[in-house]
Amino acid sequence: MSTRITRRLGVFSVRLLAPLLLAPLMLAPAAMAAEGHGGEPAHVNWQDWKANNQIGDQASLQRGAANFANYCASCHSLKYLRYERMAKDLGIPDDLLRKNLLPDGAKPTDYMMVNFPKADAEAWFGKLPPDLSLITRSKGSDYVYQFLKGFYVDQSTATKTNNLALPGAAMPAVLSELEGVKRAVFAEQGAVGGHGGGPVVERFEVVAAGSLSPEKYDAFVRDTVNFMSYAGEPSQLQRNDLGIWVVLFLLVFTGFAWLLKREYWRDVH
Ligand code: HEC
């Protein structure tokens, strides 16, 4: 008798608890997305370079915001994001915001726009630098990471550089003082590209070293892409915070449910 009841209770509690226990897994967003994999490739598998965003890493987001302000904001806007919201989300104090991140003449309540005469931009680059609010969502953060690491010298273009991820890119290699300048040695004509397609690179050759080591440059780009991913969806920070509370609640709740079950069944045994 009592075993049957226990068994039924077992089924019941599994049915009840399974969805509750699985819920946090389903709620956890792309944060758990695949990691990059190691191993020395035959070619430079730049198509496999991964941004490995850490949206919960506030220090990285702060560094990324500073990178963006110093190296990108002169050409690119983030037109849905206000300076003050960014400062609040990333834990940047007001005085630091004003000193380091606000362009001259801008107010904290302003959206992050560029004051760049359109006609000039078109004359200089042949096209307008796009607003970058949604770039990590439309093309993926790995793409942006590959783009920022994908510049190589190419005398045949107006900018004297080209880009692996965006062949013929009109954007100049604005980070070359940090990264250095590299030449790409391409595989024989007809070689087939990596998984993502695009040019097959046999190796890079350093033309001029940059002020950052390759590891530091990678970290710089990672932080910048991390920030752009935040800017594409600022509410994901709050959602991540919320997720932790949901998981904690479920754990505590499971504990209570178990205690309660034990209490109820104490007399039956
Ligand atoms: C001097 C102006 C200038 C600066 C500074 C600049 N960019 Fe650009 N950027 C451009 C232009 C122009 C384009 C358009 C390129 C094209 O479509 O060929 C562009 C395009 C892009 C794109 C879109 C690529 C695509 O696939 O459409 C990304 C991403 C980007 N820039 C990121 C950055 C980041 C990050 C920084 C700062 C590290 C930066 N840019 C700094 C001018 C600039």
Report pLDDT digits (tens) over 32-48. 333 334 444 468 889 99
Taking the CB of residue 179, how many other CB atoms lie within 10 A of it?
Answer: 23
Structure tokens at 113: 């726009």
Of all atoms in ligand 1, which is nearest to the CA of residue 72? 37
- HSE of 172 in the Cβ direction (CA atoms, 13 Å)? 14
Q: List the beta bridge partners of residue 181.
A: 208
Q: Tell me the mean pLDDT in the region 18-43.
A: 48
Confidence (pTM): 0.78
Is 43-233 in CATH node 3.40.10.10? no
The amino acid occupying position 104 is D
For residue 168, the ligand 1 atom closest to its alpha carbon is 18
- Ligand 1 site-directed mutation target among 68, 71, 74, 76, most atoms within 8 Å of CB: 76
Which of the pair, 231 or 122, is modelled with greater confidence?
231
Taking CB atoms and a 6 Å cutoff, what residues make up the pocket around ligand 1? 71-72, 74-76, 125, 127, 129-130, 132, 135, 139, 144, 147-148, 166, 169-172, 174-175, 224
Residue 81 pLDDT level (bands cut at 50, 70, 90) = very high
What are the two backbone dihedrals, phi and then psi, of residue 82, each rounded to the nearest 5 degrees? Answer: -90, 145
Most ligand 1 atoms within 8 A of CB, residue of 74, 75, 178, 228 to mutate: 75
Q: What is the pLDDT of residue 2?
A: 46
Q: What is the mean pLDDT of the chain?
A: 85
Asked if 80 contacts 111 with a C-beta cutoff of 8 angstroms, the reply is yes
Query: 174: Cβ–Cβ under 8 A, 6 or more apart, which residues?
Result: 71, 72, 75
Distance 174 CA to ligand 1 centre (A): 9
| Residue with CA nearest ligand 1 atom 34 | 72
pLDDT of residue 136: 96
Cβ contact 172:148 at 8 Å? no
Q: Which helix (H) or strand (E) holds 182?
A: strand 180-186
| 116-120 contacts at long range (C-beta below 8 A, 24 or more positions apart) | 116/74, 116/75
C-alpha to C-alpha distance for 184 and 268, rounded to whole angstroms: 76
Q: How far is the CA of 243 from the centre of ligand 1 (A)?
A: 34
Give the ligand 1 atom nearest the CA of 127. Answer: 12
Residue closest by Cα to atom 6 of ligand 1: 72
Query: Which residue, 182, 175, 184, is CA-closest to 217?
Result: 175
Q: What is the structure's pLDDT at 53?
A: 92
